[in-house]
């Protein structure tokens, strides 16, 4: 009897080890595939085409924000987060016949339409800032007053951006057409002031734009984890 039990012991031990490993695998697979499947965001590079956005010397908002947004998309995709773009080329998404303020309004409506019909859970619109006071500098992230998810997303992104370009600016509520009319949590990320000389110098550098895009992607990933 005793000999029989001793004989069984190695098999029992092996069974316990296999069971423990299987349990760990189960949780690992759940967390990894859960992240891969469910996380999609919409990235909106502001302006484009006939609409250059804010322009100062050699810096054109539409080009800076498209470059950064494409890098955010690529960075997120490495983390298993899908990024759908409202534009990935130099266009404002509006037909050529439209003019003036009607054109700008149509461009925003087009972006909202893409966002609304896309699978993305949140909308991240990327812009540069501009001010008559050339001393203003640094990043700024806005959300719609009362949008708690937008606020959390804006706080996550702004906290990361502040590490790249030191500033006392916090995520704040702002009234923008895009934020006011979005049917999903939305933020506007201003990556710097084109009216500020130092911000212009930094935004012209590829390595700085890479740092900004990493920071935005970090913020989005943190939001997904924290929400
Ligand atoms: Zn803009």
What are the domain boundaries of the chain?
A: 1-38, 39-226
32-46, 64-78, 106-120, 159-173: the lowest-pLDDT one: 32-46
The confidence score (pLDDT) of residue 96 equals 83
The model's pLDDT over 107-122, given as tens digits with 9 standing for 90+, comes to 999 999 999 999 999 9
Residue 51, beta-bridge partner list: 48
What pLDDT digit, counting tens, does each position of 63-93 carry? 999 999 999 999 999 999 999 999 999 999 9
* Residue 197: C-alpha distances to residues 28, 35, 46, 130, 138 (Å): 48, 41, 21, 11, 11
The fold of 39-226 is: Aminopeptidase (3.40.630)
Rounded Cα gap, residues 92 and 111, in angstroms: 9
- How far is ligand 1, taken at its centre, from the CA of residue 139, in Å? 13
Ligand 1: distance of its center to the CA of 129 in Å? Answer: 7
- Distance (angstroms) between ligand 1 centre and the Cα of 53 equals 5
| Mean pLDDT (whole number) for 172-197 | 98
Q: What is the DSSP string of 11-65?
A: HHHHHHHHHHHHHHHHHHHHHHHHHHHH-EEEEEE--BTTB--SEETTEEHHHHH
Both tokens assigned to 65? 């924000």
């Amino acid at each position: 009897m005793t000999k029989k039990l001793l004989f069984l012991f190695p098999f029992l031990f092996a069974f316990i080890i296999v069971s423990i490993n299987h349990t760990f695998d189960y949780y690992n697979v759940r967390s990894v595939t859960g992240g891969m499947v469910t996380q999609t965001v919409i990235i909106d590079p502001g302006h484009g085409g006939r609409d250059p956005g804010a322009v100062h010397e050699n810096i054109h908002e539409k080009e800076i924000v498209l470059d950064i947004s494409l890098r955010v998309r690529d960075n997120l995709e490495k983390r298993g987060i899908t990024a759908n773009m409202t534009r990935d080329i130099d266009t404002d998404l509006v037909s050529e016949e439209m003019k003036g303020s009607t054109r700008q309004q149509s461009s925003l409506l087009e972006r909202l339409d893409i966002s609304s019909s896309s699978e993305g859970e949140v909308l991240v619109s990327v812009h540069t800032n501009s001010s008559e006071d050339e001393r203003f500098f640094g990043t700024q992230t806005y959300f719609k007053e009362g949008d708690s998810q937008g606020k959390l997303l804006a706080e996550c992104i702004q906290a990361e951006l502040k590490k790249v370009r030191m500033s006392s600016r916090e995520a704040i509520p702002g009234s923008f057409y895009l934020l006011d009319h979005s049917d999903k949590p939305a933020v506007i990320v201003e990556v710097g002031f084109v009216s500020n000389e130092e911000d212009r110098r930094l935004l012209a550098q590829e390595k700085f734009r890479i740092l900004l895009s990493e920071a935005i992607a970090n913020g989005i990933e943190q939001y997904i984890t924290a929400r």
